[in-house]
Structure 1
Amino acid sequence: MTDPVLAGTDLRVTRRGTTILDGVSITVPPDAATLVQGPSGAGKSTLFNVLGLLEPPSSGRLEIDGRDASALSERQRAGLRRTTLGFVFQDFQLIGDLTARENASLPQEHAGDRDPEWLETLFERLGIDGLEDQYPATLSGGEKQRVAIARALANRPEIILADEPTGQLDPDTAESVLDLLFSMKASTETALVVISHDPQLAKRFDERLFIRDGTLVADAPDRRAAERSPETR
């Protein structure tokens, strides 16, 4: 059996006496597509931050690429983020005074390993070649998200983590971005973990997990009940 590239065991996050994640366990095999769904306030974004080494869990164990991230220093965690993880955010998080190419190359700059040919390949595959010198303010939402995907793949990560990657896009653009994510996943043999509240995404993934009140549950609850969930993100 192939070892997972990401494995979280009994992950818990508590803030000011409030439990945000309550014993979440998740396993992601190489080249898998995993969807984590849940209503606003369920703890999805906190789980994203923990899996992405952006926030340490209060307790539990997190292994990434066979390494116990819980035992690493912050500097080592940052290094593991750069080499193993790629991030796609709902609000794109592009830097306004950098061009599309400069935004996409940031992971390479931070790692000290420039590969302009790979960036050119990414821009071509994502259909944004010709926009390399444009600034974010001149790009559409779909173009910004494609630049964000190029940035996520810049260091050839083993895992892409995407937090509501279609949340700010119209349905047609959202479908196109998902097509691109899956196409790039297939061509780069990268595991894909998507955090989303959108129930329409489920059919495209190998595994679907549902989080409610900080806990993974067997299946999605009644939609109206989900909409009544309190905000705890």
Structure 2
Amino acid sequence: MTTPVLDADHLGVTRGDTAILTDVSMTVAPDARTLVQGPSGAGKTTLFNVLGLLDRPSSGTLRIEGRVADSLAERERARLRRETIGFIFQEFQLIADLTAWENARLPQEHAGGGDTAWVDTLFDALGIDHLREQYPATLSGGEKQRVAIARALANRPAIVLADEPTGQLDPETADGVLDLLFDMQDTAGTALLTISHDRRLRSRFEDVVRLEDGTTKPVPRTDSDASEEPAATNS
């Protein structure tokens, strides 16, 4: 049996007296495309941070490529995060005083080296090679997004986590971004987990998980779930 890239088992997160996540379980196989959806305040951003090893769960177990991650020392968690997870943040989070190419190369710099030719390949595939010396302030939103995708794939991660990658886009542009993400996923051979409130994405993903009241459940592909609400960015 193939080891899942990510395996969350009954995760919970409590802040003070408030339970944000109470029972989150899911698995993501290598090369899978998984979508997590839920209403405003469901805890999607908290889940993104926990699955990305940016925060620790209060309970449950999180395994990354079979390795229990939540009990690791912070240095080991940082190493595991750097080696296996790529991030596409909702607001891109590009560093203003680095060029587009330097931003994309940053994960390799943090890892102490890396394959610069691979970053060149990503820039060519994403159609942004002509922007490599540009700074974020000079880039459009779509160009920033492509740089963010290149950065997420720079270390050839086992899984990419994408937070609301189409949240502010019209349907046509959103479809284009998804096409791009899927193409780059195939190029890099990585799994993709996308967290989004956008109901339009559901038909594009093989696996859909519903997050509501702090718990998760699989969603049939035929479920239109018309009650879905826009996501809160601070959930």
TM-score bracket relative to the smaller structure:
over 0.9
TM-superposition CA deviations, 1:60-80 (whole Å, max 9, x none): 000001111022100000001
Quote the residue 1:116 is aligned against: 116
SS of match in other structure, 1:48: helix
Q: Alpha-carbon deviation of 1:221?
A: 8.4
Which 4+ residue blocks in structure 1 deviate beyond 2 angstroms?
168-174, 217-224, 226-232
Q: 1:48 to 1:179 in 2, by over 3 A?
A: same
Q: Alpha-carbon deviation of 1:129?
A: 1.0
CA distance in 1, matches of 2:175, 2:119: 23
Q: Alpha-carbon deviation of 1:172?
A: 3.0
Quote the residue 1:223 is aligned against: 226
Maintained 8 Å contact 1:141/1:169: no
Maintained 8 Å contact 2:198/2:230: no
Q: Alpha-carbon deviation of 1:174?
A: 2.2
Q: 1:205 to 1:140 in 2, by over 3 A?
A: same
TM-superposition CA deviations, 1:34-89 (whole Å, max 9, x none): 00011221111111111000000001000001111022100000001110000001
Amino acid across the alignment from 1:41: G
Report sequence identity in percent: 64
Q: Which structure 1 segments of 5+ residues have no match?
A: none
Maintained 8 Å contact 2:197/2:231: no
Maintained 8 Å contact 1:12/1:22: yes
CA distance in 2, matches of 1:139, 1:229: 26
Quote the residue 2:75 is aligned against: 75
Q: Does 1:2 align with 2:2?
A: yes
CA distance in 1, matches of 2:12, 2:107: 29
Amino acid across the alignment from 1:154: A
Quote the residue 2:205 is aligned against: 205
CA distance in 1, matches of 2:115, 2:22: 41
Amino acid across the alignment from 1:157: P
Amino acid across the alignment from 1:223: A
Give me the CA root mean square deviation.
1.9
CA distance in 2, matches of 1:101, 1:19: 40
Amino acid across the alignment from 2:185: K
CA distance in 2, matches of 1:85, 1:100: 20
Quote the residue 1:195 is aligned against: 195
Amino acid across the alignment from 1:37: Q
TM-superposition CA deviations, 1:118-161 (whole Å, max 9, x none): 11100000111100011111111111010000000000000000
Amino acid across the alignment from 2:229: E
Q: TM-score, normalised by structure 1?
A: 0.94
Q: Does 1:171 align with 2:171?
A: yes
Q: Which structure 2 segments of 5+ residues have no match?
A: none
Quote the residue 1:60 is aligned against: 60
Amino acid across the alignment from 2:92: F
Q: Does 1:96 align with 2:96?
A: yes
TM-superposition CA deviations, 1:79-131 (whole Å, max 9, x none): 01110000001111111111101110110000002322111100000111100
Quote the residue 1:140 is aligned against: 140
Q: 1:158 to 1:230 in 2, by over 3 A?
A: closer
CA distance in 1, matches of 2:173, 2:230: 28
CA distance in 2, matches of 1:119, 1:218: 35
